Amino acid sequence: MLKDYDVVIVGAGLAGLLAARMLTDLRPLVMEIQDSLPNNHRAVLRFRSDAVSRAINIPFKKVRVIKGIYGNFEADNPVATANQYSLKVTGKLQTRSILSTEPVDRWIAPDDLVARLAVGAKINYGIEKYVEALQQHNSIPPIPVISTVPMDKLMEMLDYPGPRLAADEKRREGWSLRSRLPESWEASVYATVYAPNPRKRWYRASITGNELIVEGVGSLVEDEKRGVMEEAMMGLGIWIPLTGKGIEYSQSQYQKISELSTEVREQAKRFIMWATAEYGVYSLGRYATWRPGLLLDDVVNDVNVIRKLMEGSSSYDAVKA
């Protein structure tokens, strides 16, 4: 029964499960559209601080990440390189992470992070329960809802009367390929190579511990996967024999999203406030708030802000705290 819970969280991805862990004292109920626990984040997952680790009390590993640029005749021109990369991954001319290739410190979560976050969480699966979570304004008393649903989809589900986000112009579908490195290598290198050249099918290849991860926009057919992985390995200076069974492929509707214009950003803010005022729905996460630069490190603070808002603080006081 919904009366047994103080908050409903829509979406059992990383942002939703993080919120559930941080708000465990509010007896959260997580509702997920899929029939089982998803692991939607198949691209490279690194954290810029230990904020998430501390918030969920799960140790992360601090590593030093090295970076480079591959296959680009403008490699000595950082302006051209950055612009090429932005147009390749988003179709927009905006600032991206390739601007800096200096080594950086990052925190790496354990491989089973999603499963560990789900331990102890009450999760209901299935589309009917998912939609029901967005109708809690009809409950007596109303139950607040934290939604990680992408903004464009939430606008549709709530039949938002204002200007709607043209998400197809602001997002790019994409893919990720993964393969394991040989155990004999005892891999302890963390590295990323960017491929801004538009002729390359992939835009980023990374080594994260004993795993090789390659990412691109659009989609790949089966016959392309091996060749793309082999070219990415060249960029990383490594080589491992590949078979079709040794490559894991995943597709994402929201591989990359681009920044909103000032006007559309203001429209998005008005929608977020409207959803809270009319439905008791609080938007959380990169896609729900449409902030391309938002990291899970930032979501920790956003959960704390939402808690204050649910407890009755004004939006100004909640953000200021």
User: For 14-18, 19-23, 137-141, 231-235, which range has the lowest pLDDT when averaged over its residues?
Assistant: 137-141
pLDDT at 320: 45
User: For 79-88, 170-179, 247-256, which range has the lowest pLDDT when averaged over its residues?
Assistant: 79-88
Does residue 192 sit in the same domain as residue 306?
no
Please indicate, yes or no, if residue 7 is contained in any of the structural domains.
yes
Whole-angstrom CA distances from 250 to 8, 43, 131, 233 are: 29, 9, 26, 19
Higher per-residue confidence, 211 vs 243:
211
Instruction: Name the domain boundary from 257, 273, 295.
Output: 257
> What is the C-alpha end-to-end distance of the chain, expressed in Å?
34
Whether 321 has a pLDDT exceeding 80, the answer reads no
DSSP, residue by residue, 260-311: PPHHHHHHHHHHHHHHHHHH-EEE-SHHHHT-TT--HHHHHHHHHHHHHHHT
**Segment 217-239 mean pLDDT:** 92
Does residue 269 sit in the same domain as residue 148?
yes
Kindly report the CATH number assigned to the domain that includes residue 182: 3.30.9
Instruction: Name the domain boundary from 235, 257, 279.
Output: 257
**Segment 161-187 mean pLDDT:** 91
Please indicate, yes or no, if residue 216 is contained in any of the structural domains.
yes
Does residue 220 sit in the same domain as residue 247?
yes
Whether 92 has a pLDDT exceeding 50, the answer reads yes
Contacts of 224 (CB under 8 A, 6+ apart): 201
Residue with tokens 């649910």: 310
In 3-state terms, what secondary structure has residue 131? Answer: helix
- Prediction pTM value: 0.87
Whole-angstrom CA distances from 282 to 161, 205, 278 are: 18, 35, 11
- Listed in sequence order, the DSSP H helices in 58-180 are 78-90, 113-118, 127-133, 151-157
pLDDT at 48: 93
pLDDT at 168: 83
Does residue 229 sit in the same domain as residue 176?
yes
Whether 313 has a pLDDT exceeding 90, the answer reads no
Does residue 99 sit in the same domain as residue 238?
yes
**Segment 101-105 mean pLDDT:** 90
The residue segments making up the domain with residue 230 are 61-108+171-257
Q: What is the pLDDT of residues 124-140, one digit of tens each?
A: 988 676 666 666 555 55
Most confident segment among 98-102, 178-182, 241-245: 178-182
Does residue 103 sit in the same domain as residue 65?
yes
pLDDT at 75: 56
Does residue 201 sit in the same domain as residue 311?
no
**Segment 165-179 mean pLDDT:** 90
Whether omega for the bond prior to residue 141 falls within 30 degrees of 0, making it cis, is yes
